[in-house]
Amino acid sequence: MSWMRLQGRLSVLMLAVWAPSAFGQGYEWLDSALPERSFDFGTVARGSKLHHAFAIVNRGDQEIRILESRTKCGCTEAKIGAKSIPPGTQTSVEVTIDTTRFLGHKPSGVTLVFESPSYVQADLDTSCYIRGDIVTEPGLLDFGVVRRSETPPSTSLNLTYAGGRADWAVTAMRTRTDRIVARFQEAGRSPEGYPVYTLSAELKPSVPNGFFKDEVTLETNEGEKLPISVVAEVQSAVAVTPAIVNFGQMKPGQSVARTVLVRSDRPFDVTRLAADRDDLQAEDQAKGPQAVHQIKVTLKAPAEPGSFYSELTVKTDVPDEPEAVLKAFATVEP
């Protein structure tokens, strides 16, 4: 046998031995990390901007790392909450579809490329059916950046029906959560003579801080359900800095303390500090109302080795302000 043929057979043999461990195993984590791989928005109005969040949940003992993402259409945007997901935590991929330039069935989505625990690509698919005779302007109910105040923020959009049914009407309306109040009413006629409707919404004080997403569903007498996305960026009146504390490598029973700041634009009192695990303790170093409070956070590592995760909630006397949350991580050595 010639050296070239022998070398070729050895290469094939080495690939056959190595390939199963490199490509055929180690992907079990992916199914649990991506509980949802596809989402159908159903029938939508043209011009709508559709939002959906795909969860990425780390149920394993290794960090999940996303290398990159690629959208499948120019109509699609994707925002990843975090590219590194420690064990016991989760993030989301927020997908936005702009239906302005399309009609009929429209598939799209995003491809994620993971580099850890295994190098693998995964598709998150979306689809919808875009009606050309129902148009919204703008494409969603967007409150923009919202600061908490006594006056509820509001926003609205116009919906135009250009179909051939004279008795077309919205027969029911519902919201996904109870944190918005929506109203739908006729607003006149377009220059072309089509009926125009106004959909308006107000935010309730119970809306959480950060990026808020909801949905208004309009049911028509044609038997269809039209989803309208609702988004807002709610700025907190009270903020924890830093919001994530990593205590690093710790030995069982070891205690480590960190200091975080709780801030507001006016003096306030911290009324309660509570962690979901007894290993994490917190103490307010300030006495009386302050615009900035120093909070001493102490972690006593549990006896069990492995990944540690806990949340500390900070309650204040600021009216209508939800609890601020501090996330704590650590790795307990054997």
Burial of 42 (0-12, 13-18, 19+ CB in 10 A): middle
**pLDDT confidence of residue 236:** 81
Question: At residue 162, what is the residue type?
Answer: A
Reported confidence tier of residue 69, pLDDT bands at 50, 70, 90: very high
Q: How far apart are CA 100 and CA 98, in angstroms?
A: 6
Overall average pLDDT of the 63-73 stretch: 95
- The answer to whether residue 227 scores a pLDDT higher than 90 is yes
Residue-wise pLDDT tens digits, 138-160: 999 999 988 776 678 999 999 99
% of the chain with per-residue pLDDT over 90: 75
Reported confidence tier of residue 205, pLDDT bands at 50, 70, 90: confident
Ordered DSSP codes for 246-263? EEEEE-TT-EEEEEEEEE
Q: How far apart are CA 1 and CA 134, in angstroms?
A: 74
**pLDDT confidence of residue 164:** 87
- The answer to whether residue 23 scores a pLDDT higher than 60 is no
**pLDDT confidence of residue 20:** 34
% of the chain with per-residue pLDDT over 70: 92
With tokens 């039209």, the residue in question is 226
Residue-wise pLDDT tens digits, 167-191: 999 999 999 999 999 999 999 998 8
- The answer to whether residue 14 scores a pLDDT higher than 50 is no
- In degrees and rounded to multiples of 5, residue 245 shows phi and psi of -120, 125
**pLDDT confidence of residue 239:** 86
- Strands (E) across 148-224 are located at 154-161, 170-175, 180-189, 195-203, 210-220
Reported confidence tier of residue 322, pLDDT bands at 50, 70, 90: confident
Task: Tell me the whole-structure pTM to 2 decimals.
Answer: 0.69
Mean pLDDT of the chain: 89
Overall average pLDDT of the 6-14 stretch: 42
